[in-house]
Amino acid sequence: MTIAFAEVLVASPGRNFVTLRITTSDGVTGLGDATVNGRELAVAAYLTEHVVPLLIGRDEQRVEDTWQYLYRGAYWRRGPITMAAIAAVDTALWDIKAKTAGLPLYQLLGGKSRTGCLAYGHASGKELPELFDSVRAHLAEGYRAIRIQTGIPGLDSVYGVASSANAARGAGESTRYDHEPARRGALPVEEQWDTRAYLRHAPAVFEAVRNEFGPELPLLHDAHHRLTPIQAAKLGRSLEPYDLFWLEDVTPAENQDALRLVRQHTTTPLAIGEVFNTIWDYRKLIENQLIDYVRSPITHAGGVTGLRRIMDYAAVYQIKSGVHGPTDVSPVGLAAALHLGIALHNFGIQEYMRHDRRTDEVFRPTYRFVDGLLIPGDEPGLGVDYDDEVAGAHPYEQAYLPVNRLLDGSLHDW
């Protein structure tokens, strides 16, 4: 068999997704996710113009060789667009390999290491009563680990806080304000940020959540790249009494050495890497034991092959996975993460925001969420299908993530 053709599918069933579908000469198909939120068409063009022509006629079973061919062969290395394109090809080839073997993908990755993948959901609220309702709604849905984000006094809107209706609905149909498609040509929404107000407020929020929900519930929090190292150290230390499962993206982490300073001051576990793409981007973080969880999704880190490589390296240092799973990772990317997650020895936790109903109608995933655990489907391959007809009813809509400014108007990390 060889690769006969590959299609780049762009659709917006609730939000934008870029999907690669590879078809072999005897009609087996495989899917890969190539969605880069807010920059979707760049990956679509990279795939269409520069990758798909290279795939035709290749042996579809040569997954590692194709990965190297696209990575080394491009000469230009790393970066989100290239690595998302490679991820899509890699994931689709694993899907095909598993289908031709007649096995669910996790069987090719070593088989099950656990019964299911512990998932965490996103609770949020502008004020505490709304946040508590959102936590309760998540618990009622079966979540056993919960991320906590709230509003900050004096700021109108901040990252990670759903509109009241969505927060009250729990994970539900997650049309978070920051992920809603914008009208074509519209500029990104602008938000405001005040680090001092945040650092004063966050410990009080976690104290209130612990008082309300007790000591056992694993709680997570995302600082979304907004702090300097010394501010991050201060936050980590001030949250220690509340025993977080992790504190995420405390700094932008482009300067990985800066994390040493954070580590010297706090035992709060750190999770970093949702914007990192390769094992080389993690080298210092892993070797110097500056993080506890790897955040890259399969979609942005070179596929199953790329993330597996990062996780095997991380295992040497007892670092675990905490794979990125917001709704901008498609059901294809999530399914692949679950097949890897259930097989990996050093799995930690999987982020899980439920997709919009329209998204699931296009992708028809077979993974299940049972008692707080995500379980990949047992049919051959990834267990995801793509319905062209339903997708056709949801054309691409331009959408940007918001940008963030400090109170003096200067641009800050969002």
| Catalytic residue ranges | 159, 224
Among 80, 326, 365, 383, binds ligand GCO (CB under 6 A): 326
Contact by Cβ (8 Å): 244, 219: yes
Coil vs helix vs strand at 232? helix
| Distance separating alpha carbons of residues 390 and 346, to the nearest angstrom | 37
Q: Which is nearer to ligand GCO, 60 or 281 (CB)?
A: 281
Among 222, 292, 328, 356, binds Mg ion (CB under 5 A): 222
Interface mask toward Mg ion for 274-293; x: CB under 5 A: x-------------------
**Region near Mg ion per CB under 5 A, out of 148-156, 167-175, 267-275, 390-398:** 267-275
Helix, strand, coil percentages (3-state) for the chain, rounded to 5, are 40, 20, 45
| Distance separating alpha carbons of residues 218 and 21, to the nearest angstrom | 37
**Starting at the edge strand that comes first in sequence, how are the strands of the sheet with 403-406 ordered?**
190-193, 403-406, 411-412
Q: Which is nearer to ligand GCO, 97 or 320 (CB)?
A: 320
Q: Which does 189 bind (CB under 5 to 8 A by kind): ligand GCO, Mg ion, none?
A: none
Restricting to residues 51-110, which ones interact with ligand GCO according to CB under 6 A? Answer: none
- Please report, for residues 221, 242, 249, 406, 407, the alpha-carbon distance to residue 229 in angstroms, rounded to integers and kept in the order given: 17, 21, 11, 17, 20
Q: Which does 326 bind (CB under 5 to 8 A by kind): ligand GCO, Mg ion, none?
A: ligand GCO
User: Binding-site residue total for ligand GCO (CB under 6 A)?
Assistant: 9
Please, what is the minimum distance in Å from the beta carbon of residue 273 to Mg ion? 9
10 Å CB burial of residue 153 (0-12, 13-18, 19+) is exposed
Ramachandran area for residue 339 (φ above 0: left; ψ -120 to 50: alpha; else beta): alpha
Residue 174 as a binder of ligand GCO (CB under 6 A): the answer is no
Phi and psi at residue 42, in whole multiples of 5°? -65, -40
Please, what is the minimum distance in Å from the beta carbon of residue 401 to ligand GCO? 6
Coil vs helix vs strand at 183? coil
Interface mask toward ligand GCO for 262-301; x: CB under 6 A: ------------x---------------------------
Residue 401 as a binder of ligand GCO (CB under 6 A): the answer is yes
Which tokens belong to 87?
Answer: 């991820």
Please, what is the minimum distance in Å from the beta carbon of residue 351 to ligand GCO? 6
Among 40, 90, 281, 351, binds ligand GCO (CB under 6 A): 351
| Distance separating alpha carbons of residues 16 and 361, to the nearest angstrom | 14
| Distance separating alpha carbons of residues 86 and 82, to the nearest angstrom | 6
Coil vs helix vs strand at 30? strand
Ramachandran area for residue 16 (φ above 0: left; ψ -120 to 50: alpha; else beta): beta
Residue 359 as a binder of ligand GCO (CB under 6 A): the answer is no
**Region near ligand GCO per CB under 6 A, out of 9-17, 190-198, 253-261, 324-332:** 324-332
Residue 191 as a binder of ligand GCO (CB under 6 A): the answer is no
Residue 166 as a binder of ligand GCO (CB under 6 A): the answer is no
Interface mask toward ligand GCO for 208-237; x: CB under 6 A: --------------x-x-------------
Which tokens belong to 203?
Answer: 């410990």
Footprint on this chain of ligand GCO (rule: CB under 6 A): 37, 222, 224, 274, 324, 326, 328, 351, 401
Q: Which residues bind Mg ion (CB under 5 A)?
A: 222, 274
